[in-house]
Structure 1
Amino acid sequence: MRNTVHDCRFIELPTFPDHRGKLAFVQNDRVHLEFDFCRLYFLFDVPFGGQRAGHAHRALFQLFFAFSGAYDLHLDDGANIRSVRIEQPNRPFFVRPNIWRVVDGFTSGAVCAVLASQLYDEADYIRDYDQFSEYVRTL
């Protein structure tokens, strides 16, 4: 399926504030997400100037959270490029398959948490940008 960076978007999660703080949630009910999630992973203690990702996925859907601090998410669909700043825990960013992604610009103490639609599968990764460019041209 041909996805573009414009198909990726922020998700506004319901937030419930009271005198004790705020609560937000996401669950596998297809109300907030287009996918059921199977895995949660997170990036933290990324050194200043460090970069993560640098790959695409053939089938994986992801939801990127900033549980603490902030970071930049750069997206490329082979024809369009888009960058967003992830900085609110109740405003995660949804990324579709077949999008090249790079994560950088981590603030001190930043925690990037990601809900993924599948268990880890190395075969789903495209780790070479030239191969990615060729792959998306065939979609």
Structure 2
Amino acid sequence: MTKSALNLNLVSVIDFPRVQDRRGNLTFIQNQDHLPFDIQRVFWTYDVPGGENRGAHAYKNQQEIIIALSGSFDVVISKADGTIEKYSLNRSYYGLYLPPMTWRHMENFSTNALGLHLSSSTFDSDDYIRDFHEYQSFL
């Protein structure tokens, strides 16, 4: 999905540009062209031990895009009604867009998995909802 087709209320996969070359491929992101927000924070997850999960929270206001730069992992979206959606990230040219109020956790990390997170706001601990029951009642 391209930025122009993105519904900012739904979890969506964004297909970033790919420049393919026999010497190696290149993917790039330009704020205004490819993202629904200006990047205010970037962080990455790595060296996650086998069997461990990351995340398990929702943001009240922050939007986020998660990219598997190397290796693979799953992003599990839990809806307030208990239904679950799972997205397997394993290509560096795909990003998973998460709108505000999306409960997520990441699991099933491959060896040497590297996850890049692009955020619409700087860190604010008050923006986090870390308890799923609180998340359900917040909605």
TM-score under structure 2 length normalisation: 0.90
| Residue of structure 2 in register with 1:10 after alignment | 13
* 1:83-123 alpha-carbon deviations (Å, 9 max, x no partner): 11010000111111101001010000100110011110000
Q: Counterparts of 1:87 and 1:65 in 2: how far apart (Å)?
A: 8
| Residue of structure 2 in register with 1:113 after alignment | 116
Q: Counterparts of 1:71 and 1:96 in 2: how far apart (Å)?
A: 19
Give the counterpart of 1:35 among 13, 27, 37: 37
Q: How far 1:39 moved relative to its partner?
A: 1.0
| Residue of structure 1 in register with 2:91 after alignment | 88
Q: Counterparts of 2:72 and 2:35 in 1: how far apart (Å)?
A: 22
Which residues in structure 2 correspond to 1:124-139 (within 5 Å)? 124-136=127-139
Aligned to 2:135, what secondary structure does the other structure show? helix
1:65 alignment partner AA:
I
| Gap runs ≥5 in structure 1 | 1-5
| Gap runs ≥5 in structure 2 | 1-8
| Residue of structure 1 in register with 2:48 after alignment | 46
Q: Counterparts of 2:79 and 2:29 in 1: how far apart (Å)?
A: 26
CA RMSD for the aligned pairs?
A: 1.1
Percent of residue pairs identical:
30
| Residue of structure 2 in register with 1:104 after alignment | 107
* 1:21-79 alpha-carbon deviations (Å, 9 max, x no partner): 111111211x2221111111001000000010010000111110111100000012313
Aligned to 2:31, what secondary structure does the other structure show? coil
Give the counterpart of 1:70 among 60, 69, 72: 72
Contact preservation (8 Å) 1:77, 1:98: no
Q: Counterparts of 2:74 and 2:28 in 1: how far apart (Å)?
A: 22
TM-score under structure 1 length normalisation: 0.90
1:62 alignment partner AA:
E
Q: Counterparts of 2:67 and 2:128 in 1: how far apart (Å)?
A: 21
After TM superposition, the structure 1 stretch with the greater mean CA deviation from structure 2, 40-49 or 17-26, is: 17-26
**Number of positions where the alignment pairs a residue of Structure 1 with one of Structure 2:** 130
Q: Counterparts of 2:35 and 2:116 in 1: how far apart (Å)?
A: 16
